[in-house]
Structure 1
Amino acid sequence: MKRILFCVSFLWLSLTSFASTTDSVYLFSYFVGNGEDGLHLASSEDGFTWNAIARQSTFLQPELSPDKLMRDPCIIRGKDNKFHMVWTVSWTQRGIGYAHSDDLVNWSPQQYLPVMEHEPKARNTWAPEITYDPANDEYMLYWATTITDAYPETLVQEEKAYNHRMYYVTTKDFQTFSETKLLYEPGFNSIDATIQPDNGRWLMFIKDETRVPVQKNLKMAFADKLTGPYSAASAPITGKYWAEGPTVLKIDGLWIVYFDKYTEHKYGAIQSRDLKTWEDVSDKVKLPKGLRHGTVFKVSKAEFQKVLSAN
């Protein structure tokens, strides 16, 4: 019985998150500049051509932390049919931002989640994401943090000696949270994880942030449970450029990974049907100018029209 429920839950997650239908529109949550002006959205019907949704102001202006930033906005549709969002509030705070919405226009009060405040040597909490776990009916929030003196074997002095690993908490209601735990220790400086279901297992895309010798590419890891343990990281799936901030769509069996070619000030994309052979399709993808690190997700056309009509 548990196995049947598990499979049904994964089917629900796949249908609500990835399947393409004639009644759906894809949205891309993102920030521009340093994240000072808040949440931006772009839309696409095919996953390749994206158009910014113009508004007199952004969809949500940042209020948290002394820095008042809204970087790396990650939005998912929850089991409750609400849109749940987390984001980076600061370069140096030990917590992340959270808000929810029924329509992507009207948002709840912003909350500061102190996920690393218990760790005095934590230097940051960057690029948080949310993934829903149907097996346990809970959400996992995860992010990258550098803890001073942790993992000295991968520490270098370049880039301010940041040396990230992925950490997480779980919650059923976004009101009470588990204790913070280590999610993934791949043996290298790592950041920008995003996790998707894949035929009864979990697939993590993650950036290898190693500066010496330089990596700065995207890799994959797999696990039977959302909270791990995850496998050793794969070989790089991106090219000789520097890549970060992956977000993923699966459309009719085709995996598309979008990422920021940040040193080139443009976005790239790769695609695969088997997660083994990857094709660069950067020249086929059109994204709004200035778009930076965010998340792709799906809405109905009726929901999309409400977003367009609100201003």
Structure 2
Amino acid sequence: MSRVLARLCAVAVTACLLFTTWSAATPKEAAALDPTVGYLMAHFTGESSTNQQIYLAHSTDGLRWTDLNNGGLVLRSTVGTRGVRDPALVRSPAGDRYWIIATDLCIGCGQDWSTAINNGSRNLVVWESIDLVNWSAPWLLNVAGPIPDGRNAWAPEAIWNPATGDYVLYWATNVPLNGAAKHRIYYSRTADFRSITTPQVYLSRPGSQEIIDTQIVEVPTGVGAYRYVRASRDDQITIEGSNSLLGTWTTLGNLSGIGLTGAQVEGPMWMKFNSRNEWVLYLDQYATGRGYLPVLTTNPSSPSAFRLPASGSYAMGGTKKRHGSILNLTAAEQTRVLARWPATA
């Protein structure tokens, strides 16, 4: 009898462990988060091996930023090319898990732009956390390897899709397809950023026009005509809308009316203000090397509603902010982050 009981106990323990592992890796239902009070930006700062890592900045108003960790990097990649660019911050629907996903790329670290474009890393770099301050070791997620002749994987983003109960993970890959070798946006679905569905083309421009940077924001009911709006850098900063992440997208216009085109800015980065229905679309002024510029709007789906900021109304901090993403912080999250990486005075 004791031998039978021991075997039954072992089976029960194994089942519990399997359930625990499965539940930790499976997104929970969306929860009502506590009110958000601050903002956290993840970004990289430049072209050296040190600059191409994960940096953080904090803001209380969404327009004036201070560097965390005295302006030093907070996470360093130890995998792949050992450099990262274009980080995206992702929070689970229940608010109990976070990921950073980033381009596995280190220009000037034994790799030039031609190699990165035509024979670069097919992987993304991923970190995971349960508290936003203690992060796992990074791992590589092969997203472009399954794409026939996929040559790299750049500028990843992810957004929760309630229609499918998982994330839409999307990025740019250079692929010779239909007579044109160029970057297109591909997507996969994932629940844990460790395994993905077969990549599919998500966004492509006609002819030889490339598209590398795109980011989607979810818009509340009553603001504009679309639930989702994406801003993409092609030859313009193109604005599109849709009511389904994996459905049809409608071109709404661009930002050339305020003097911003794809020849001047890239790396679109959305942020909603905590206290009101107003948004910032940050754009990286890569042509002049000045980093991010905020563009304001009360309706992301209306290009004519975007406006440039008043002079002196924003400050980006001591480090240059390059292509990244912003997470709206609850009070508890903000307290943890600032305790771990104090803001630069």
Sort the TM-score into its range (normalised by shorter chain).
Answer: 0.7 to 0.9
In 2, the alpha carbon distance for the partners of 1:29 and 1:122 equals: 27
The alignment partner of 1:279 has SS state of coil
Partner residue of 1:142 out of 163, 170, 176: 170
Secondary structure of 1:33 counterpart: coil
CA deviation map 1:34-69 (0-9, x unaligned): 37332111111111101101258522111121x211
Match of 2:191 in 1: 172
1:74 to 2:98 alignment: no
- The 1:141/1:24 distance shift into structure 2, 3 A limit, reads same
Change (3 A) 1:282 1:68: farther
Which residue of the other structure, out of 280, 300, 311, is the alignment partner of 1:256?
A: 280
1:293 to 302, 323, 332: 323
1:1-311 map, 5 Å: 16=33, 21=35, 24-34=37-47, 36-37=49-50, 38-55=53-70, 58-65=73-80, 67-80=81-94, 81-90=96-105, 91=116, 92-148=120-176, 150-152=177-179, 163-187=182-206, 188-198=209-219, 199=221, 201-208=227-234, 215=235, 217-232=236-251, 234-236=253-255, 239-240=259-260, 242-251=264-273, 252-266=276-290, 267-275=292-300, 276=302, 277-281=305-309, 283=311, 284-288=313-317, 289-310=319-340
Give the 3-state SS of the residue equivalent to 1:264 in structure 2.
coil
Native 8 Å contact 1:34 1:69 kept in 2? no
CA 1:250–1:88: 2 relative to 1, 3 Å: same
Counterpart secondary structure, 2:64: coil
Deviations 1:51-89 (A, max 9, x none): 101258522111121x21110110021124211111001
Q: Distance in 2 between matches of 1:194 and 1:56?
A: 25
Give the letter for the 2:47 counterpart.
N
Deviations 1:111-146 (A, max 9, x none): 211111123522221110111112221111100111
CA distance in 1, matches of 2:127, 2:284: 25
May I ask how many residue pairs the two structures share in their alignment? Answer: 278
Give the letter for the 2:161 counterpart.
Answer: D
| SS of residue paired to 2:335 | helix
Cα RMSD of the aligned pairs, angstroms, is: 2.4
Structure 2 counterpart of 1:159 = none
CA shift digits 1:197-249 (9 cap, x unpaired): 123622111111xxxxxx3x311112221123322362335524611011111
CA distance in 1: counterparts of 2:193 and 2:173, whole angstroms: 21
Change (3 A) 1:265 1:282: farther
> Any unmatched runs of 5+ in structure 1?
1-11, 156-161, 209-214
Scaled by the length of structure 1, the TM-score of the pair is 0.81
| TM-score, L = length of structure 2 | 0.74
User: Partner amino acid for 1:201?
Assistant: R
Q: How far off is 1:97 after superposition? A: 1.1
Which residue pairs with 1:4 in the alignment?
A: none
2:9 counterpart residue number:
none
Larger radius of gyration: 2
Residue pair 2:63, 2:294 contacting (<8 A) in 1 also: no
Partner Cα separation in structure 1 for residue 244 and residue 285 of structure 2: 30
Aligned-partner residue type, residue 294 of structure 1 = G
What one-letter code is carried by the residue in structure 1 that aligns with 2:230?
Answer: M
